[in-house]
Structure 1
Amino acid sequence: MRNIIYGINLTADGCCDHTKGNGTADIHEYFTDLMRDVDLIVYGRITYQLMVPYWPDVAKSQSGTKTENEFAQTFNAIDKIVFSKSLHSVEGNTRIIRDNLAEEVLKLKQQPGKKISIGGVSLPSQLVALGLVDEFYIVVHPVIVGQGRRLFDDINLVERLNLKLVESKVLKSGSVALHYIKE
């Protein structure tokens, strides 16, 4: 069965607002390397609209830094699914699924392939609560912002989820990349 991995950037005080962290080259390199083992990305509407068309446009125009361009190309090449009841259309290699989150994600896990990456906050929180996330890649940025959305604010777990740290890495920027697996 395929693993579902969740990658997220957090500030040191737990904020997961994408505008609050440090978008340094080493962060883009880290997530580009992570995506090399992925052949499907799953998002909710909000995260999808944050990522697309921004990264596909960077991939086409090569308008970013070297590491941003590499991330954009890697991201753009991966098939995507967006769970949304309100989105009417998607771009490129993306398809929409409207209902049955748990059932549909279980079907995806059972298909052959590489890892499945999820991103954002709401959809991953739902999948964590359902017990469907296998690995967590949390990058903690060395900044305290004091405000903003916190990771898992809306999660309602039936029982505690224990994680095992399998790797930690200090990046050049001072960010710390933590890789956990579900116990």
Structure 2
Amino acid sequence: MAKLVFGMNVSLDGYVDHTEFAPSPILFRHFVQEAKDQTGSLYGRKVYELMRYWDEDQATWSDDERAFAAAFRKQTKWVASRTLERVGARADDRAACIQSALPLAYLALVLVFFVLWTRGIFV
């Protein structure tokens, strides 16, 4: 049976900003290994659009960044969005757009529980 893992980058005050997050090299290597071990990822539209950065190689990338990009590209991606009609611009993309309201409601529920947990309401 597969294991479902929920993960999110968050600061100690509960603020999430994926555009300003710059992990240390050690933490980034951890993310590379996590990405290699994942079968797929479920994204909302905004985070999916941010992650599309990894679709095209950049000349300035380090070896770790190239390894992360390779792991990201091999994953199946499920994108919950009411506005995107299709996802995955590359021919080898393994992506699907979920436009049903159910996945969006699920994501909202997960977010609510996460916020409550970070504020100490759930242990």
- Secondary structure of the 2:28 match is helix
More strand by share: 1
Q: Paired residue for 1:144?
A: none
Q: CA deviation at 1:48?
A: 0.6
Q: Paired residue for 1:51?
A: 51
Task: Pick one of 64, 68, 72 that aligns with 1:67.
Answer: 64
**TM-score relative to the length of structure 2:** 0.75
Amino-acid identity (%): 25
Q: 1:77 to 1:41 in 2, by over 3 A?
A: same
**TM-score relative to the length of structure 1:** 0.53
Q: Which runs of 4+ in 1 moved over 6 A?
A: none
Q: CA deviation at 1:161?
A: 4.0
C-alpha contact 1:10 1:21 (8 A) present in aligned 2: no
The one-letter code of the counterpart of 2:44 is G
Unaligned runs of 5+ in 1: 106-122, 132-150, 163-183
CA–CA distance in 2 between the matches of 1:62 and 1:28?
18
Q: CA deviation at 1:18?
A: 1.5
Q: Paired residue for 2:16?
A: 16
C-alpha contact 1:25 1:68 (8 A) present in aligned 2: no
Q: Paired residue for 2:115?
A: 152
Q: Paired residue for 1:101?
A: 103
CA distances 1:107-135 after superposition (whole Å, capped 9, x unpaired): xxxxxxxxxxxxxxxx3x52365x8xxxx
CA–CA distance in 2 between the matches of 1:161 and 1:2?
25
C-alpha contact 1:81 1:95 (8 A) present in aligned 2: yes
More helix by share: 2
- Secondary structure of the 1:51 match is helix
1:80 aligns with 2:43: no
The one-letter code of the counterpart of 1:76 is R
The alignment covers a number of residue pairs equal to 115
C-alpha contact 2:14 2:115 (8 A) present in aligned 1: no
CA–CA distance in 1 between the matches of 2:35 and 2:26?
14
CA–CA distance in 2 between the matches of 1:55 and 1:11?
23
CA distances 1:29-57 after superposition (whole Å, capped 9, x unpaired): 111111222111111111111101x1011
The one-letter code of the counterpart of 2:87 is V
C-alpha contact 1:84 1:96 (8 A) present in aligned 2: yes
- Secondary structure of the 1:72 match is helix
Q: Which has the higher contact order (CA 8 A, sep 6+)?
A: 1
CA–CA distance in 1 between the matches of 2:78 and 2:103?
11
Alignment root-mean-square deviation, CA: 2.9
